[in-house]
Structure 1
Amino acid sequence: MIARISIAFAAALALAACGEDVPEVDTSIYGAGENWDNPGGDWAESHFSRLEGINADNVAELGLAWEYDLGSARVQEATPVVIDGVMFTSGVLGKVYALNAATGEELWTFTPEMDMQIARSICCDWANRGIAVSQGKVIVGAADGMLYALNAESGAVEWSVDTIIDHGRGYTSTGAPELAGNLVVIGNAGAEYDTRGYVTAYHVDDGEEAWRFFTIPHDPAEGAQEHAELDAALETWSEETRWDIGGGGTVWDAITYDPTFDQVIIGTGNGGPYPQAIRSPGGGDNLYLNSLVALDRESGEMNWYLQETPQDNWDLTATQPMLLADMEVDGEQRPVIMHTPKNGFFFVIDRETGKALAANPIVRTNWADGWDLEAGRPNMTLETSDYTNGPQIVFPGSPGARNWYPAAYDPTRNSYFAHVLDMGNLLWLPGPVDNVERQEKFLNAGAAILFTPDLEAAVPTLPPPVREAVENHPQWQWVKDQPFKSELRAIDPMTGETKWAVESLGWQDRHGALATKSGLVFHGNLAGQLFARDSDTGEELWRIDTGSSIMAAPMTYSVDGVQYVAVATGWGGGGWGFVPGYAAAYHKGNRNRLLVFRLGGGEVPIPDDLPALQPADEPPAQYEDATPEMIAMGSGLFTANCSICHSNQPRAPLPDLRRMNSGVHGAFQQIVLEGLLVPNGMPRWDDRLNEDQVKAIHAFLIDSQQSLRARELELQRRGLPLDTQSLTILSNY
């Protein structure tokens, strides 16, 4: 069978490589068939399959066909691609795997080489969301911004191009490249750092640049804008804009090709810094932040835009996945986009005009109380959401009502299946907005943020002015009544109404979805369970325990008449340093696997539980010259520079630095300043920190380790487990 697959696949590759003519797409066929030819499955990126071999009558017979170890303990967000019996998928930092889709046999792998200093500019773990396949090439964006075209049969690099325009800024790349005819389009991440967003189109055959579209203007003092659309955008930014910080607007995901109108639709990111009072003092809509923008495929010129969240203060990005469809609107079939961005509204948008045909809230919102379809903009309520002059509780929060995890659309049922998160943020300005210093290639968020699930417990510890503002805020009752709701929903696109909902394990339990014509919805959870549900009712029809946390969207394909369901496992993404206790990754580690199921398959090997935590080692003696002020300075430096990776929580993906052994303590300066552990992925910090600052951080960690050890020894004496819950109980004695 392997030989037959190779011959068929080679023939398909040869046909695709015959020239650079724009391939035609049959949009009359909706949903994926035997192949799943891009991370979204079909031309509409619907995460919907026409296959019906697995259905409600036999889904209980699903078992493991094969598994593949992805060789990582970080996040897995990619949905695999399968073409003619060969599976391609990507992993951390842009690693690529080619596998026999029927057996799991490894055909080849590719690991991009990169300077691990890039790790300091990745906000949300080492994610990569997938690959593209065209003209005999597998195309992937690596974390450092290199775009690689690999020979699909061998994995050899056929061409590569650096997509980053300024390596002096915090650009990274985490999204899947998008095929648009004979072009491939890629964006970048880093809006919280010091970047200015853009997307670039390259020719698939040789990697030559075709066009580039910037999502926000540059400083007009530097000369003319790169393209005409930016002249109009410039009028929506204030004269005092902090162009030096960058502005944000990165396109880190959500690039979709619309073959009906031969256009590329991009979703743009948040402003950087978050507070408009810093970024663009005096206001303005700040185009094209948080927008959908349709670009002509051939020229890169703008066809239309829709700004879903003007005047961004809240990280309410529009970079969430889009699904295309033809849908009945007011008795007429219209080509539409279904989009559920972070901002809490479900948009149905005309693909030809960019006009919103429906915009309904699916969670609590107080940055806007509705959407004016005629005016094409929200009814904003800044009096309860603009934190320029004081703290505000804002719904939805920066994790978003929706985020990167894909939804699925079943056109036969007119149902949109998606995980939805209803929660908020407390936001305030931690300091004055004047003369904020740019942090080069580093976080420039500019706002203090506390999520509502943690808010009530944290209120007593807040500074008095912040605490008073919280307790007097109109949304304080929302927080007390329901800090969050996290659930998988079936939604009617035009009304936003929920047909059915299934509660998730917690607010961090977010997951992608797969829908099939046979009436099934597949999804995983952080506890490591994979489910199949009835599309009409949400009833659970099948589940299997895998022992590995699942966030990525499942997919399905067929080889030799056998239907398979595949999903990547691995915890991570935003908030990746804080592993919730209900996650399999907390109890069994974060071993990343690709799991593939078929009817009549076997059991899934379950990883062993991690060893029980033991009390932290006795740290070395504190520095003789350590003072409370020095330790406090170390705490601040640790929070600003280290805590995004080292959360210092039990079972965190990266080492808890309150548990260092004597060898690590002894080499602390060499690790941080000299790059002793660069081969392990730990970057060096001598460009940001000096010896005295590193010493202060070390003093803080020695103090923290001594405190943790004392508390854990007390827990051990009382016979309590060494976990976060027990430590919290102990702190209340």
Structure 2
Amino acid sequence: MKDHRVLPYGFLRGFIASVGCVMLISCDSASDTSYASGKDLITAAPDGDDWPAYGRTYDEQHFSPLADINERNVAELGLAWNIDLPISNMTFTQPLEVGGVLYYTTGYSVITAVNAATGKELWRYDPQVTDEIGEKQRASWGPRGIAYWNGKIIAPTLGGRLFAVSAATGKLLWSQDTTEGPEDGRFISGAPRVFRGKVIIGHGGADTGNVRGYVTAYNADTGARMWRFHTVPGNPADGFEDDAQRRAAKTWRGEWWKLGGGGTAWNSFTYDAELDRIYVGTGNGAPWNQNIRSPGGGDNLFLSSVVALDANTGKYIWHYQTNPGETWDFNSTMDMTLATVDIDGKSRRILMHAPKNGFFYVLDRDSGKLISAEPFTAVTWAKRIDLKTGRPVENPEARFGEGKGRIRPGSTGGHNWMAQAFSPQTGLLYLPTTERAVSYDGTGIDPKSWQRQPDMVLDSGFKRNPITAPFPAGPEYASALKAWNPVTQKVAWSIPQRGLFNGGVLATAGKLVFQGNAEGHLVAYAADSGKVLWRFNAQNGMLAAPITYRANGRQYLTILTGYGAIAGGMGPDSARLGWDYRLQKRRVLTFMLGGRDALPPFKKEVEPMLRTPQFKVDATLALEGAATFGRKCMACHGPGAIAGGTGPDLRKSAIVPDMNAFEQIVRQGVARQLGMPKFGELGDRDLRAVQHYVRQQAALAKDQ
């Protein structure tokens, strides 16, 4: 197996700040470290010394039993060490720590190992994803985490590979393509999970291609495929893989398989060690618009569901569908947290799930039956969840058919992928929530003639109106960190927050809850009351969840800073908070009691708007460019070309007015390795239209 990507320390640190970058360096091997088996670490981990999995343990509680840092002394928490990261919109991954070594990824699955107590770099491995990724780079995502098993770090790539490197040296051990070939539109944007010597992974891609969802388990030591489960049925004429697919097909209409169907499991999996089951959270339909995907309706299994599978065989056990006939991008790919609690005087093994649709579900893990469900944020699409049937009682106006509709929480979700945390001490689940209404427009769309737009463009099956006027300021989106009681289904406390999306959550036995927020502060709250006990100015927004561990006898807390990815589509909201892609630092921050490190002085500022009075905007071209920009550019560069930290603000870029430079970057892809995808399909007029649109938006904008 060829492996030439572990590079010597200090080899190359260059990056081009004007367009962003990906780390390209590596360094010398780690010191000899004794690694326990993955199973022992993840299942037991009673002392909390390590953080070996995304949720620390199989139950995905994001809870640590460490209490050296606690509610009485957290005010003494200080920065122990920090590492500057290169400019990138992919610094939202959650790190791992095993045996005194911290592992994290940045950019396109570049893994770095450092001494957890000092931050000294041990090794770095670059899988060189941009060499193979093609147009999947347009997904503007990177995997949200990595896995540890038996001396290996297992990581995915945006292109759809899953690979393992030695945790001690960074040497490549195995690599596996999880897709169905070069033309397959699947990409990986979630964290793999390991269980019983297997690693499970799913995909994204149903919003941009004709993708049929599935999950696959591989041997964690060798990469060999073990089993696969499809989350939506395929073409009945080809036969079905199992009885679950045959059953699911009865809930679909038309020729859904030609559009893939969706149901991609792009984020959350949970292993139930007590029942030896794996729970899979599935995604929305493809396209969103059910009139196109499944004309005539139907529940469309297993979209927007929690599906329980036998961990050894992948065989279907049960499912619970949160949104039958999904049509709003209501994913159920959010965290599934396990616990055992007393409900009505009886001990119950439960699964807690707060998906996009705004309801908090408590399910019986043994049977999959619904125990309770209540809204945790503003909800208008449904009146309630019927406890007898388990189905939502929808408001009639939520099914707008070929008309228009506006509902809450909308496609951004009442809770998105940011990690939730559960404390067995308080019995509360800590949940980052949002409130945002979204409009859907199905007018004038013929389900019979609709075809997906090519070239990996987000295509929901609804109208997407181009933004031609200055983006309206409007009210700020509402969001909050809520402490939710899963037994009473009521909020215990709630902290209002700025920004639509705030970071993932960590709970500890020190009676603390930690979260990084959109304003750029890492905050410690009292777990029982929500009182702010400590705050640190991280100088950038955060989406990643922090972790905590013990190294050299001391408890540490680590988080990656950087506001990107999902914030791109909310550019104006992020820009209002003052984030600028080029000027804000991304870092690894690690804290300990009595820490004395400090960040350089920081002044929040943004680049000035580029004024080019000599550039004469052609209004006709600008109107064409608005549509192209909305399809091709908005995910990173923001609505109305207001980027808000995810990508460079093109209104301020000197590259855009220079057609030669603009063409080299956009169409020739000279900045691919720095994070800018290639759009070779754009013609000369397309490129000029985008140029005129961006300059028009700059001319209309007010100086900040």
Alignment of 1:407 with 2:420, yes or no, is yes
Task: Return the match for 2:478 from 470, 474, 485.
Answer: 485
* Structure-2 separation of matches of 1:695 and 1:587: 24
* Structure-1 separation of matches of 2:114 and 2:510: 27
Deviations 1:506-554 (A, max 9, x none): 323x121111112111112122211111111111111121212122111
Secondary structure of 1:674 counterpart: coil
Q: Which residue of 2 aligns with 1:80?
A: 95
Is 2:575–2:645's contact at 8 Å kept on the other side of the alignment? no
Q: Which residue of 1 aligns with 2:390?
A: 376
Is 1:324–1:338's contact at 8 Å kept on the other side of the alignment? yes
| Displacement of 1:657 | 3.0
Deviations 1:404-439 (A, max 9, x none): 111111112111111111332111125313311122
| Displacement of 1:99 | 1.2
| Displacement of 1:333 | 1.4
Q: Which residue of 2 aligns with 1:642?
A: 633
Q: Which residue of 2 aligns with 1:442?
A: 457
Alignment of 1:200 with 2:213, yes or no, is no
Q: Which residue of 2 aligns with 1:249?
A: 263
| Displacement of 1:297 | 1.1
Amino acid at match of 2:432: H
Is 1:408–1:418's contact at 8 Å kept on the other side of the alignment? yes
Is 1:92–1:126's contact at 8 Å kept on the other side of the alignment? no
Amino acid at match of 2:390: G
Q: Which residue of 2 aligns with 1:536?
A: 528
Task: Return the match for 1:671 from 665, 668, 672.
Answer: 665
| Displacement of 1:655 | 3.0
Secondary structure of 2:550 counterpart: strand
Task: Return the match for 1:57 from 72, 75, 79.
Answer: 72
Amino acid at match of 1:46: Q
Deviations 1:566-616 (A, max 9, x none): 111110132325162454634983422111111111253046336663341
Q: Which residue of 2 aligns with 1:682?
A: 676
* Structure-2 separation of matches of 1:371 and 1:351: 19
Amino acid at match of 2:551: V
* Structure-1 separation of matches of 2:578 and 2:556: 24
* Structure-2 separation of matches of 1:49 and 1:615: 46
Q: Which residue of 2 aligns with 1:361?
A: 375
Q: Which residue of 2 aligns with 1:275?
A: 289
Amino acid at match of 1:425: V
Alignment of 1:304 with 2:318, yes or no, is yes
Over 3 Å counting, the alpha-carbon distance change for 1:677 and 1:596 in structure 2 is closer
Alignment of 1:501 with 2:516, yes or no, is no
Over 3 Å counting, the alpha-carbon distance change for 1:213 and 1:423 in structure 2 is same
Matches within 5 A, 1:464-479: none
In the alignment of these two chains, the number of paired residues is 664
Q: Which residue of 2 aligns with 1:605?
A: 599
Secondary structure of 1:89 counterpart: strand
Over 3 Å counting, the alpha-carbon distance change for 1:635 and 1:423 in structure 2 is closer
* Structure-2 separation of matches of 1:649 and 1:337: 39
Task: Return the match for 1:565 from 557, 579, 592.
Answer: 557
Q: Which residue of 2 aligns with 1:331?
A: 345
Task: Return the match for 2:235 from 219, 229, 252.
Answer: 219
Percentage identity across paired residues of the two chains: 35
Is 2:404–2:443's contact at 8 Å kept on the other side of the alignment? no
Is 1:392–1:428's contact at 8 Å kept on the other side of the alignment? yes
Over 3 Å counting, the alpha-carbon distance change for 1:650 and 1:41 in structure 2 is closer
Deviations 1:144-185 (A, max 9, x none): 111011011111110000111143243211111110211100
Q: Which residue of 2 aligns with 1:554?
A: 546
| Displacement of 1:363 | 1.7
* Structure-2 separation of matches of 1:649 and 1:696: 17
Q: Which residue of 2 aligns with 1:209?
A: 225
Deviations 1:630-677 (A, max 9, x none): 442233222222222223226544233334436832333343333333
Task: Return the match for 2:156 from 122, 138, 141.
Answer: 141
**Runs (5+) with no aligned partner, structure 1:** 17-22, 460-481, 713-721, 724-733
Name the stretch that deviates more: 290-299 or 553-562. 553-562
Is 2:334–2:417's contact at 8 Å kept on the other side of the alignment? yes
Amino acid at match of 1:487: A
Over 3 Å counting, the alpha-carbon distance change for 1:103 and 1:581 in structure 2 is same
Q: Which residue of 2 aligns with 1:466?
A: none
- Bigger radius of gyration: 1
* Structure-2 separation of matches of 1:386 and 1:117: 41
Task: Return the match for 1:188 from 200, 203, 211.
Answer: 203
Q: Which residue of 1 aligns with 2:409?
A: 396
Name the stretch that deviates more: 565-574 or 441-450. 441-450
* Structure-2 separation of matches of 1:650 and 1:199: 33
Over 3 Å counting, the alpha-carbon distance change for 1:572 and 1:675 in structure 2 is closer
Alignment of 1:33 with 2:48, yes or no, is yes
| Displacement of 1:324 | 0.9
Secondary structure of 2:579 counterpart: helix
Deviations 1:311-352 (A, max 9, x none): 111111000011111111222212211111111111111111
Is 1:425–1:449's contact at 8 Å kept on the other side of the alignment? no
Is 1:215–1:249's contact at 8 Å kept on the other side of the alignment? yes
| Displacement of 1:226 | 2.3
Q: Which residue of 2 aligns with 1:425?
A: 438
Q: TM-score, normalised by structure 2?
A: 0.88
* Structure-1 separation of matches of 2:472 and 2:673: 40
Over 3 Å counting, the alpha-carbon distance change for 1:589 and 1:119 in structure 2 is farther
Secondary structure of 1:658 counterpart: helix
Secondary structure of 1:232 counterpart: helix
Alignment of 1:293 with 2:307, yes or no, is yes
Q: Which residue of 1 aligns with 2:650?
A: 657
* Structure-1 separation of matches of 2:362 and 2:96: 27
Is 2:517–2:542's contact at 8 Å kept on the other side of the alignment? yes
Is 1:177–1:185's contact at 8 Å kept on the other side of the alignment? yes
* Structure-2 separation of matches of 1:311 and 1:529: 40
**Runs (5+) with no aligned partner, structure 2:** 1-29
Name the stretch that deviates more: 206-215 or 688-697. 688-697
Amino acid at match of 1:486: S
Secondary structure of 1:229 counterpart: helix
Over 3 Å counting, the alpha-carbon distance change for 1:684 and 1:77 in structure 2 is closer
Is 1:118–1:172's contact at 8 Å kept on the other side of the alignment? no
Q: Which residue of 2 aligns with 1:522?
A: 514
Task: Return the match for 1:106 from 106, 112, 121.
Answer: 121
Amino acid at match of 2:596: G
